[in-house]
Amino acid sequence: MEKTGEQPNLDSKTLVDRRDLLTGAATLAGTSLLGLALPAAAAAADVPQDRMPPIPADKMTDAQTKAAAEITSGPRKALVGPFIPLLRSPELMSRLQKVGEYLRYNTKLGPNISEFIILQMARHMSQQFEWDSHIDLALKAGVKQETLTAIAEGRRPVGMTEDEETVYEFCSELRQHQCVSDASYARVVKRFGEQGVIDISTLCGYYTTLGYIMNVARTPLPAGRAPGLPLFPR
């Protein structure tokens, strides 16, 4: 995941509210869903410990310092999110972040489609940092709130644009079956070309990779941010 300086969208409160209905005994700001105050220690215990927190600058190896500088001097501007755990493997981070830079800033898909795909993958991976980082960008790019609410709740959105529907079907089949049908492939080729097929497929794979990394590392949300994704019912 790649986070810019944009603030997360405040209109996404609906998603947080729905999260409360689905998370059972989850707590928010030290208060239970029944409104009963919980001890601060109990609330803190519900938050998984960050397994790979930021490495202090004076503890970095030369390779880590170089890899971190590549990130902070590029369009991302800051070392956050998945790049904090990735710094444990600086050469991999350096190679991977260049792929991510292309996918975020240089494809011909348009930011509305790129962000739409990223949030589908964030939902698939239940990746709160990724969702928090990209929901405001998706709304700014023109993806409708009701579309994102449906994705957050694990539903197929209604009222998608033709481009969104084309990409949604392609990405859904890829997630579920690890391949796509001839019909979905043909629609993407017709609209985005063969390069678009490759870029869309790689966006799915790249953000799945970042999701795995942050889920394993238990990368936390920025301070003060509440999870925007509900847990899936079990």
DSSP states along 6-19? PPPPGGGHHHHHHH
Q: Is pLDDT above 60 for 119?
A: yes
CA–CA separation, 7 and 123 (whole Å): 19
Cβ neighbourhood burial of 93 (10 Å; 0-12, 13-18, 19+): buried
pLDDT, one tens digit per residue, over 35-73 is 333 344 444 446 679 999 999 999 999 999 999 999 999
Q: Given a cut of 50, is residue 84 above it in pLDDT? A: yes
Neighbours of 63 (CB within 10 A): 14
Confidence (pLDDT) at 232? 76
CATH 1.20.1290.10 fits 57-217, yes or no: yes
User: In the chain, where are the structural domains located?
Assistant: 17-45, 57-217
pLDDT value of position 31:
31
**Phi then psi for 50, rounded to 5 degrees?**
-65, 115
Q: Where are the alpha helices (DSSP H) in 125-218?
A: 128-141, 145-152, 162-177, 182-217
Tens of pLDDT, residue by residue over 128-184, are 999 999 999 999 999 999 999 999 999 999 999 999 999 999 999 999 999 999 999
Looking at per-residue pLDDT, the higher value among 185 and 33 belongs to: 185
How many CA atoms are closer than 13 Å to the CA of 99, on its beta-carbon side? 18
